[in-house]
Structure 1
């Protein structure tokens, strides 16, 4: 059943006939709007990539006057719930008034000894945010996001890596009537639109903050003047049994986004994975390359911490911006039932804090969102684009 709002609405339908299911989801979303849609987003989970493609084409054909983007996924979010690993379609429709909407499709070309991404729209002075949906198998999302400021300046980018139930080759991307089997698609929103971003990484720090004093590639060799592995062992030995189990199941490390802060607490870090250890060099391998002088702090993640983090960030966003009308939710496919025991958790958290607004999205194979004023690709996060009633600049939380 669609959420009724004046400007934003969502829909969700489940069924093996994906074309009919897409029609039902789009109709639900459109029924919640008081006027014609300007932007429609939809997300499709299905077994057969060709069926997903046909369903996407039908969804786009139903809203000929609107800008439309969408993608395949292994799970979708809408109507206050999540549906994982079964045929389903979620849809989201928005009436955005005078908002400037520019869809785009990106592809990667080889130029000499490097790859070049083409298809980006020209940056406008009033651009507010870019939504990006990418094929993780063919598009260099990490490199693109890392260098996005060179082409887009400080423009926030939010979205997720699409996927399909058949993995490589089953991803489908949709933009304004076109179906793409690789690359990335998206939309830039500009002009009089009030938007913000919330990126919940769901981690809790353990041990003290430490400065990287020696590093090589992605190996941390020394932290605060001591071998990195020895520092880690000291921290783990001081933990209780429950936290030691969390360390064993997936240790993370946070990179401080503000080196000049007096204290670095939860939410002040960009989270990256700890990939392993090198006992001979007493080093810790992480999923990033850090310069000497950066501040880091080891982290753990569990359902309770992730739940608390998401609710705190959403509550803070409401306090800062006032009334919220709609949102797009990009949630990691490692969250949902795998983390919380329910696919509905993130959708319900958004409803609980932001109210009965139009919210839809999908379970992503990686999430894109700004942290500390810079765009990043994340894992195990909930990245949310929030549309508010009050005029406020887009800002990463």
Structure 2
């Protein structure tokens, strides 16, 4: 039987916070010792990150500790996006250890090494692979070459489910950090492989939905869209943005580019596209700058981020994932973009309330991310403005 629990503390004393959160997690799980622990901590504790990890490992009686810095944490019904906040999730099992194993990993020096980083992560976790595998990947957002590394990693480990996200901070430090054991490092990736014989159910929910039709790129240079459908790219963007286009700075906070998963697609369909930032637009020059390199012939669209669209997609995604569950989840992990939360919905704890309403009293831990990794269609994708949920369940007991 897989057991897990999540604990939370906002004590200003980092040692007390680590002890409180770990004790609460162990109590919820009904464990005296854990197979592994995940720890997410806000920058208010930055100077004490190593000590926090030592306390978590010692109190949970495990060397398998991983985590990262985070602007905010998610622990059950707690969503705390500023100040002191610490989440600890402990994971364990009864005597039948084949159900679940946990193995941490750490790879330093990310820049310019996408292929090498992916190869090192794969080498680290291959000996621990089991019947079912979930790779939880936590990366320094400011140094991680996300798309290239993820593409290489899915090639290295083609049958391994991957989730996780980019470490985050509140702007007070200018660095993000990952944790492994009691090691704290920027310019690195860490995480944990969960392997064994369990059921895994995953979903992603997007805070953005299409506005207007899809368009064909008819002229582009580097990352600059010059023409869409034979028209000036800015004019097409302005039509999609509507009144928002009169305030470009505001428009770029809410309107983004959408790229379909299928390069042959002629429409932008829910659950079949990734979102990428628009980094600039010029009415004078008639162009739009994006955070990727478009090619002539590509299909792109525009999407709008707002609370109601996000709420509808989350509700629909949870209904879909609930229909896929074979048995009740033992625990869940939730990785939520920093652009969601109270800043989007106007209220705290929005997504956690929907998770609790849909799933009941399942221990769920996670953090607010710089980017997300999760399922999209039949692929593992680099996501933005998303919430990614991974649910681990015990295998149903066969009738005797």
TM-score, normalised via structure 2 length: 0.84
Query: Structure 1 residues 217, 248: closer, same or farther in 2, change over 3 A?
Result: closer
Give me the whole-angstrom Cα distance separating, in 2, the residues matched to 1:108 and 1:115: 12
Q: How many Å separate the matches in 2 of 1:138 and 1:246?
A: 27
Aligned to 1:167: 173
Alignment match, 1:107? 108
Question: Hey, what does 2:355 align to over in structure 1?
Answer: 350
Say whether the 8 Å CA contact 1:9–1:358 is kept in structure 2.
yes
TM alignment of 1:203-214, pairs within 5 A: 203-214=208-219
User: Does the 8 A contact of 2:53 with 2:181 survive in 1?
Assistant: no
Q: 2:163 aligns with which of 155, 158, 161?
A: 158
Alignment match, 1:232: 237
Structure 2: how far apart are the matches of 1:126 and 1:240?
50
1:305 aligns with 2:309: yes
| Partner SS state of residue 276, structure 2 | strand
Compared CA separation, residues 390 and 164, structure 1 to 2 (3 A): same
| Corresponding residue to 1:39 among 30, 36, 40 | 36
1:86 to 83, 97, 108: 83
For structure 2, the residue ranges without an aligned partner over 5 or more in a row are none
2:200–2:392 contact (8 Å) kept in structure 1: yes
Report the Cα offset of residue 191 of structure 1.
3.4
Once superposed, what is the RMSD of the aligned Cα atoms?
A: 3.2
Conservation of the 8 A alpha-carbon contact between 2:259 and 2:301: yes
> Which residue does 1:136 correspond to in 2?
141
Offset of residue 312 of structure 1: 1.1
- Kindly state the Cα deviation for residue 45 of structure 1 after the two structures are TM-superposed: 1.9
How far did 1:209 drift?
1.7
CA-CA distance at 1:114 after TM superposition: 8.9
Aligned partners of 2:130 and 2:55: how far apart in 1?
A: 35
Contact 1:211–1:224 (Cα < 8 Å) also in 2: yes
Question: Are the structure 2 counterparts of residues 234 and 340 from structure 1 closer, same or farther at C-alpha, using a change threshold of 3 Å?
Answer: closer
Q: Secondary structure at the match of 1:387?
A: strand
Q: Give the alignment partner of residue 192 of structure 2, picking from 187, 193, 196.
A: 187
1:163 aligns to what SS in structure 2?
coil
1:318 corresponds in structure 2 to 322
Cα 1:104–1:228, aligned 2, differ >3 Å: closer, same or farther? same
SS at match of 2:23: helix
Query: Is 2:70–2:367's contact at 8 Å kept on the other side of the alignment?
Result: yes
Matched, 1:19 2:15: yes
Q: 2:393 aligns with which of 371, 385, 388?
A: 388
Residue 75 (structure 1) aligns with? 72
State the alpha-carbon separation in 2 of the partners of residues 158 and 64 from structure 1: 25
Of stretches 146-155 and 82-91 in structure 1, the one that deviates more from structure 2 is: 146-155
Greater CA drift, 6-15 or 373-382: 373-382
**1:293 maps to what in 2?**
297
TM-score (norm 1): 0.85
Unpaired segments of 5 or more residues in structure 1?
392-397
The structure richer in helix per residue is 2
How many residues were matched structurally? 384
User: Is residue 44–residue 56 contact of structure 1 (8 Å, CA) maintained in 2?
Assistant: no
Deviation string, structure 1 residues 97-146 (Cα, Å, up to 9, x no partner): 423433210112788x9984263143457463211111223443344224
Offset at 1:359? 0.5
- Residues 1:285 and 1:172: Cα distance change in structure 2 (over 3 Å): closer
